Amino acid sequence: MLAEEKNKPVRPGRRRVFVALAVGLGILPVAMLELGLRVTGVGDLATADLHAGFGNSARLFELDEDEQRYRTRLARQRFFVRQEFPATKSENDFRIFCLGGSTVQGRPYRPESAFGQWLDVQLNAADPSRRYQTINCGGLSYASYRLRPLLQEVLTYEPDLIILATGHNEFLEDQTYTDVKARSGLRIRLEEYAQSLRTVMLLRKLAGGEARQEPTEDPDDTPGDSSEVVEARLDDDAGYASYHRDEKWRQQVTDSFDDSVRAMVRMCQASGVPIILVQLGANLRDCPPFKSEHRTDIDVADEQQWQTLFDNAAAKTQSDPAAALVLYQQAAEIDNQFPLLHFRMARCQDRLGLFEDARRNYLMARDQDICPLRMPDNLSEKLIAIARETQVPLIDANSSIADRSPQQIPGFDAFVDHVHPTIGGHQRMAQAIASALRQVDIVTSSEMTVEQLRRLYRVQMESLGPVYFSNGRRRIGWLEGWAQRQRLLDEITPVDARGMVAATIRSLDLHDFQAATESLHDAVSTDVSAIQMLLEHSVELFRQGRNRTSRWVLEELAKVARDEVSIDRIALGLLIIAIDQEDVSEVAALYDGQSDNWMAIISADASGWSEAMPGVIERIRKMLP
């Protein structure tokens, strides 16, 4: 009987109970250890090294010697700029962390003129009941997957808001993407949970995770594990040669972007911290694709015919854009996947006034770029879908910046290079973010007037000094050398007044006044209508708080303007700047008691000066005895 009982098979239900008990007994010690660590505070996320795994080296911030403030670690300042904030958060403090790449950092300048700073200035002026601080966590060449461990650290610093602006750097690296691209959504969630366990943090510490070496200024001298060093393919001499048409790779990178952004949204929502996504824009009009290749299945005969049409069109592009466009369109019937073809078609259509067609081809040139250094449309679509599905606010910085561009096609009037916005572009991004924060009741301040913003901007701009811009010019030179833009200069040589005005604007943004002078005079001599375009830009500079540069434009235009209307508008601009600067003697000299004449000039103004400063006559009367 006993033998029969012994040999009797165990029922499936009882077997499952035994298995569950065995697993439970195995997990119990770990669970007890985890509970003990949490009770005693050991392995706290605020002090643990979160970055011992993939893409995770050292923390971005560390406590100073007095343990009163967090500051950017010196070893991380190769990719990040120095930032600091109090270790203890006061009751009325409102911390905003801005995460992303070099656009967030404010390149080619610094955070002092990036959208985070303009948001900081605006919110503090509009809502004195709080002390707002934006902490700039923009990492040079940082793609979205590198931002995830950074966000995990940032969430330990009691943030009130996360602003995530990413998308331009997704295709910069390849080898370091291999593991990320292969991970499933379930694995990502398991990794996120595992990284939050105190037990895991303690084991990392015991395993020597904190001994990881950090990158030095020279990537060739980087000791130890260099997982945090961005290995951009363009850093290599053969960087461009390594880019080829590879739709599978593009899709993998796109999927990785989707996974990373979704993971970061989940992390914020799980922590109860609001997050705002920013859809970035790019230079379309004055940035040709960085690399072009034919479709993979084109045969030799078709490629030869295509090249003949392309070369014949190139010979006519400047002198006869209409004839060139016909030839380019014939080439597109053979192969319409060559990015530079779309860019050249767009340039012809732009000059012919076919702006909708031009915009469509500029976008195709960007999206088909074999070396995609500008955020393509499929990534923007992913971002829009994530915002919609997770009910997270999405700021359309692309439209905020492009809406001020001629025909809503952004070029050097909106971007200093291929992706980095002008200072005015950063200001518009900040305005859009502030408006969104009011709409979702994250901030309760009222909207500031254009004049209030202009005065705030002027104070900030005057604090920067002239060296600030010369350093920006130096950085843009380095960036263009890195991106090998010299190969593309012939494609963007200005051939019309619009292009020459854009070149003037770009030189002004870099404080290269010699180049700006040449471009301005070329533009006016090519087409007198350039005066009106430049007058409108002088108003835009005034709105940005850049009075000196605005005055420089007006004074240069005064040397070449011949018609009475332009002369009057230039004088009005100079008068308004003098009023804003409270320069009584200059106001008196310009006004000269001719109120009736000035009222006629103001009422007829179409350049925007009278809108930039309403009530000019009343202000003058208050200033003058």
CATH code for residues 300-367: 1.25.40.10
DSSP state of 421: B
pLDDT tens by residue, 156-175: 999 999 999 999 999 987 64
pLDDT in tens, 31-79: 666 666 565 555 544 333 333 333 344 799 999 998 899 999 998 988 9
**559 pLDDT higher than 50:** yes
User: Structural domain boundaries of the chain?
Assistant: 2-40, 61-285+375-460, 300-367, 494-623
Return d(Cα 506, Cα 523) in angstroms, integer: 14
CA distance 622 to 591: 13
pLDDT at 346: 97
pLDDT digits (tens, 9 = 90+) for 252-279: 999 999 999 999 999 999 999 999 999 9
Q: Distance (Å, rounded) from C-alpha 607 to C-alpha 483?
A: 37
CATH code of the domain made up of 494-623? 1.25.40
Nearest residue to 174 via CA among 245, 250, 228: 250
CA distance 285 to 502: 10
pLDDT at 55: 39
pLDDT at residue number 23: 55
Phi first, then psi: what are they for 222, rounded to 5°? -70, 120
Topology, domain 61-285+375-460: Rossmann fold (3.40.50)
Beta-bridge partner residues of 165: 100, 278
Residue with tokens 């915002």: 387
Given a cut of 60, whether residue 7 has pLDDT beyond it is: no
359 vs 347: CA distance, rounded Å: 9
Choice among 324-328, 390-394, 617-621 with the minimum mean pLDDT: 617-621
69-72 β-sheet, strand order: 61-63, 69-72, 84-86
> For 222-246, what is each residue's pLDDT tens digit?
333 334 555 555 544 455 677 889 9
Give the pLDDT score at 490: 77
- In this predicted model, what pLDDT tens digit does every residue of 297-327 receive, in sequence order? 999 999 999 999 999 999 999 899 999 999 9
Amino acid (1-letter code) at residue 138 = G
How far apart (Å, rounded) are the C-alpha atoms in residues 569 and 261? 48
pLDDT at 60: 95
Neighbours of 353 (CB within 10 A): 9
pLDDT at position 1: 47
The residue-averaged pLDDT of 511-521 equals 95
Domains 61-285+375-460 and 494-623 share a fold: no
Higher pLDDT residue, 595 or 301?
301
- Give the pLDDT score at 148: 94
- 417 touches 108 (CB < 8 A): yes
Torsion angle in degrees (nearest 10) through CA of 385, 388, 394, 400: 70
Percent of all residues in the chain with a pLDDT value above 70, rounded to a whole number: 78
**Gap between the Cα atoms of 106 and 101, Å rounded:** 9
> Given a cut of 70, is residue 553 above it in pLDDT?
yes
Phi, psi of 386 (to 5 degrees): -65, -45
Report the pLDDT averaged over residues 83-99. 96
- 202 contacts 43 by C-beta, under 8 angstroms: yes
pLDDT in tens, 348-357: 999 999 999 9
pLDDT of res. 173: 75
Contact 570, 601 (CB under 8 A): no
